[in-house]
């Protein structure tokens, strides 16, 4: 049976790399004692698939894994076994059993992320709501939004307008909905940096949280994982 687990991460584990986080999750699963399925062959591996990579420094409420067990388990039992092994800064949000229609992997399904930008620097910006709204609307009204991207030590200029689903402002944070796939993506802080013309030290003050992952259908319908 296959299950989907959703984790969150905060300080100090927001400074793990994606590969370090994968290794940590594998250790958590092994130590839980749950009857996880293994692949066949000379070097059996846990049958786990992971969601999209997350950048070092981001907090998150959307770290997903799909995992196969040898038999049907109660989701509460799974949660209790996992929670006993979690280090400080990493926490379990949800466990659900996947149905036949959910069987596509997270990597195949997820194509839209929601990020929150918050902290004192953002709150200070948001004190002038009208000006911020005007700045964002002017940014989004451009026919093309060109941003430099460093890819394999080469500078590439890409049009990120098709990647931006929406930007919303709230009293204490800015929410950005950003499309992605294996061919096209941009770091969310590059969007915020470009909108507000931020220096690198100003950008470093901002707390970035990956709030949720979604699937956006070709018709524009949004669904959670």
The more confident residue out of 89 and 155 is 89
Whether residue 55 is predicted with pLDDT greater than 70 in this model: the reply is: yes
Q: How far apart are CA 51 and CA 4, in angstroms?
A: 10
Task: Kindly give, in sequence order, each residue whose CB lies less than 8 Å from that of residue 91, ignoring residues fewer than 6 positions away.
Answer: 7, 8, 9, 10
What pLDDT is stored for residue 183 in this prediction? 79
What pLDDT is stored for residue 100 in this prediction? 62
What pLDDT is stored for residue 163 in this prediction? 97
Its pTM stands at 0.92
Query: What is the b/e burial string over 17-53, where b = at least 16 CB atoms within 10 angstroms of the residue's CB?
Result: eeeebeebbbebbeebebebbeeeeeeeeeebebbbe
* Least confidently predicted of 77-81, 173-177, 203-207: 203-207
What pLDDT is stored for residue 75 in this prediction? 96
CA neighbor of 25 nearest in space, from 105, 70, 91, 74 = 91
What pLDDT is stored for residue 152 in this prediction? 75
Q: Is residue 199 within 8 Å of residue 99, measured between CB atoms?
A: no
The more confident residue out of 99 and 184 is 184
**Mean of pLDDT values over 211-221:** 94
pLDDT above 70 coverage of the chain, percent = 98
Whether residue 101 is predicted with pLDDT greater than 60 in this model: the reply is: no
What pLDDT is stored for residue 10 in this prediction? 97
Segment 114-170, tens digit of pLDDT: 999 998 889 888 998 899 999 999 999 999 999 988 877 788 899 999 999 999 999
The more confident residue out of 105 and 175 is 175
pLDDT above 90 coverage of the chain, percent = 73
Crossing angle for the helix pair 129-140 and 188-196, to the nearest 10 degrees: 110
Segment 13-49, tens digit of pLDDT: 999 999 999 999 999 999 999 999 988 878 888 899 9
Whether residue 222 is predicted with pLDDT greater than 90 in this model: the reply is: yes
């Amino acid at each position: 049976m296959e299950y989907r687990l959703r984790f969150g991460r905060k300080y100090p584990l927001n400074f793990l790399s994606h590969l370090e986080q994968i290794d940590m999750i594998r250790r958590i699963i092994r130590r839980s004692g749950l009857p996880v399925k293994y692949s066949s062959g000379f070097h059996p591996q846990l049958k786990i698939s992971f969601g999209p990579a997350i950048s070092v420094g981001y907090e998150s409420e959307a770290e997903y894994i799909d995992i196969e067990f040898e038999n049907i388990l109660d989701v509460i039992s799974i949660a209790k076994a996992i929670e006993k092994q979690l280090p400080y800064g990493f926490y379990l949000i949800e466990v659900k059993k996947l149905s036949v229609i959910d069987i596509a992997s997270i990597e195949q399904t997820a194509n839209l992320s929601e990020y929150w930008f918050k902290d004192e620097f953002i709150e200070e910006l948001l004190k002038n709501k009208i000006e911020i709204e005007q700045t964002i609307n002017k940014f989004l009204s451009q026919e093309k939004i060109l941003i430099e991207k460093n890819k394999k030590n080469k500078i590439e200029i890409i049009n990120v307008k098709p990647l931006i689903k929406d930007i919303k402002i709230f009293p204490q944070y800015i929410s950005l909905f950003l499309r992605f796939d294996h061919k096209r993506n941009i770091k969310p802080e590059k969007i915020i940096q470009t909108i507000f013309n931020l220096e690198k030290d100003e950008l470093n003050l901002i707390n970035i949280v990956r709030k949720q992952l979604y699937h956006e259908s070709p018709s524009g319908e949004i669904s959670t994982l």
